[in-house]
Amino acid sequence: MRTFEGVNEAVSFEKVTKKFGNTIAVNNVDLKINRGEIFGLIGPNGAGKSTIMKMISTLLTPTSGEVRVFGQDLYKNKQTLRRYISLVSDYSVLEEDLTPYENLKLFAAVADVENAEEKITEFLHNFDLDKYDRKLTKNLSSGNKQKLNIARALLKSPEILLLDEPTNAIDVESSRFIRKFVLNENITKGTTIIISSHYLWEVEQLATNVGIIVDGRIVIKDSIDKIYEKFDSKINIYELTFRKGDHPKVLERLKSLPDVISIKLVSEEKIIVETKNPYFSLDEVEVSQTKLRPTLEDIYSYIIEN
């Protein structure tokens, strides 16, 4: 059941700075995230992603600035608002010597979850963890531990779910399950989801809006479509197709061009090339040239390198 009816913003940052001693982790950030959206936060290690997540979850307090959740000052209303927020990170907060059921039972008691037994049974079944009812958590795979982490976070039916590197270093099947679940949680319940990840294709698949953070500052924040539109003319990536057997000549010619950034040989008949100059020609070789839309990873690399 949704609370704070009529409030459209889930989270807003106004000139938020977070310092650790003389180190500025988050630098004068303004950020607004609407209710019901999936927001992707990307950036290099140490850029401030986890710090932002921890401030929203109330684990950290800003040095200056204001964080509001559902229109209310988060830190003046910490006890009330934190019940609507759950954080999942890439490190485990589980009790290793308890079973999955016992972990969920313990958290449900701490969080005062209503209908706890029914919810625990449902999550263990839906996350395919009920078959480990007698297995200690320390003996689960990393993927199953992360699924249990997410089940734990969802027990209190949060309206804001923070996923900080949720699929880091886990198996492909568990990663796919988590992505599918995230989309379902957002679509069926309208849960606001904020996800940070080093896997940019993962954010590209899940998020409708993205923020890129570099050195503690949000350097761009927009819908994925608008970000693509903004950088399409700045990033020149082409798919070149040619006759089989011509690839040595095409490669040699491309390597001689000063504006070529990267070359990827896809097959003996296809090459993908990125260049600073959108206008280039390959003499004496018949080539079909198609401009490709940059991926989020291409855009991210462009921003970091420029």
Domain final residue, candidates 229, 259, 283: 229
Same domain, 100 and 194: yes
Same domain, 217 and 84: yes
Per residue in 23-49, pLDDT (tens digit) is 999 999 999 999 999 999 999 888 999
Q: Is position 127 within any domain? A: yes
Same domain, 208 and 237: no
Q: Is position 4 within any domain? A: no
Name the pLDDT band for 16 (thresholds 50, 70, 90): very high
pLDDT at 92 over 80: no
Same domain, 104 and 44: yes
In this prediction, residues 200-211 reach a mean pLDDT of 91
Which pLDDT score is estimated for 2? 60
Domain final residue, candidates 173, 197, 229: 229
Q: Is position 2 within any domain? A: no
Which pLDDT score is estimated for 210? 96
pLDDT at 205 over 70: yes
Same domain, 262 and 190: no
Structure-token pair, residue 152: 């734990």
Same domain, 125 and 73: yes
Name the pLDDT band for 1 (thresholds 50, 70, 90): very low
Q: What is the CATH number of the domain that holds 101?
A: 3.40.50.300
The structural domain count of the chain equals 2
pLDDT at 120 over 60: yes
In this prediction, residues 226-253 reach a mean pLDDT of 91
Q: Is position 18 within any domain? A: yes
Q: Is position 122 within any domain? A: yes
Q: Is position 225 within any domain? A: yes
User: What's the rounded Cα separation, in Å, for the pair 230 and 27?
Assistant: 24
Same domain, 301 and 211: no
Q: What is the CATH number of the domain that holds 284?
A: 3.30.70
In this prediction, residues 93-107 reach a mean pLDDT of 93
Q: Where are the beta strands (DSSP E) in the chain?
A: 9-20, 23-34, 38-42, 64-69, 72-73, 85-88, 160-164, 192-196, 209-214, 217-223, 236-242, 260-267, 270-275, 287-292
50 DSSP assignment: H
Q: Where are the beta strands (DSSP E) in 226-279?
A: 236-242, 260-267, 270-275
User: What's the rounded Cα separation, in Å, for the pair 139 and 32?
Assistant: 40
Q: Are 151 and 143 in contact (CB under 8 A)?
A: no
- Please state the pTM of the whole predicted model: 0.88
Range(s) of the domain holding residue 209:
9-229
Same domain, 213 and 249: no
Per residue in 150-184, pLDDT (tens digit) is 999 999 999 999 999 888 877 888 888 888 888 88
More confident call, 95 vs 282: 95
Q: Is position 3 within any domain? A: no
Same domain, 154 and 271: no
Domain final residue, candidates 179, 205, 229: 229
Which pLDDT score is estimated for 6? 82
Same domain, 138 and 240: no
Same domain, 64 and 184: yes
Same domain, 186 and 281: no
Q: Is position 139 within any domain? A: yes
